Structure formats: structure tokens, C-alpha cells
Amino acid sequence: MHIRVHDTVEVQAGDDRGVRAKVLSVDRAAGKLVVEGVNRAYKHVRRSQRNPQGGRLSKEMPIQLANVLLVCERCGAATRTGARYLRDGSKERFCRKCGEGLGQVAPPRAAYASR
């Protein structure tokens, strides 16, 4: 999975298509993520000490990973990502449109270091 918390993504499908927002959490096992302000639903809450007013609480619900694309910081486009090994043997994700590195995925390994 090439999307992490605090990445900016663009929603590609659903009611919120075209919205660009920050990722709040990622569930790798289910292949879902929660995006800020996207896929909001009402949760009815009973009055309690924690929530003295009670009523309807609007919260973000998870969406499928396949319905979002990562936004590249350099080119500003929603793009697919790839993975490649660097000279020191570390693995990074990169933008498929402009080739910009988007952060390290795995630490350096001697087996993948170029000589």
C-alpha cells in the first residue's frame, strides 16, 4: 500500500469525487482509509457526560483505497505511484508522471545496493 497517514489524496469515485484532502487513518487489512471531510455520515449519540448535548454527530467513514489517488507535491497531479530501489539499497515510492521521490518505504538493504 503506497498511501500513508498525512498524505494528500484526490477522491476518484463516489459522492465526493474530485475532493483533495488529507488522510487521517489507514486500515491496511481491510484496504480502507479515512480522509478528512470525505464520506461523512451521521451517528446518533445518546446524552452522556462525554457528550452532554446528545443528538446527531457527523463523522468521516472509511472509503476504499482503490477510490483515491495520491497527489504529487511537485507536479500537483493525482497520480499512480511506483516503488523503486535507490543506490544505497533503500526502497522509495515515486510519482509515475514526473518521477519525483515521495518518501522512503523500506530501509537500506545490502542485497539491493548498486555496486
Mean pLDDT of 14-33: 95
**Are 64 and 110 part of one and the same domain?**
no
pLDDT at 114: 81
Assigned C-alpha cell, 18: 474530485
pTM reported for the whole predicted model: 0.82
**Are 17 and 42 part of one and the same domain?**
yes
Count: domains in the chain:
2
Angstrom distance (rounded) from CA 73 to CA 31: 24
3-state SS, residue 43: strand
Question: pLDDT, tens digit, for every residue of 31-83?
Answer: 999 999 999 999 999 999 988 988 998 999 999 999 999 999 999 999 999 99
DSSP letter at 39 equals: S
**Are 9 and 55 part of one and the same domain?**
yes
**Are 86 and 45 part of one and the same domain?**
no
pLDDT at 115: 67
**Are 4 and 54 part of one and the same domain?**
yes
**Are 80 and 32 part of one and the same domain?**
no
3-state SS, residue 95: strand
pLDDT of 25 > 90? The answer is: yes
**Are 59 and 99 part of one and the same domain?**
no
pLDDT classification of 2: cutoffs 50, 70, 90? confident
**Are 63 and 85 part of one and the same domain?**
no
Task: Give every CB contact of residue 73 below 8 A, 6+ residues apart in sequence.
Answer: 8, 100, 102
pLDDT at 85: 93
Angstrom distance (rounded) from CA 115 to CA 99: 23
Task: Give me the residue label for grid cell 518518501.
Answer: 103
Taking all residues of the chain, what is their mean pLDDT, rounded to a whole number?
92
Domain of residue 108: give its range. Answer: 75-115
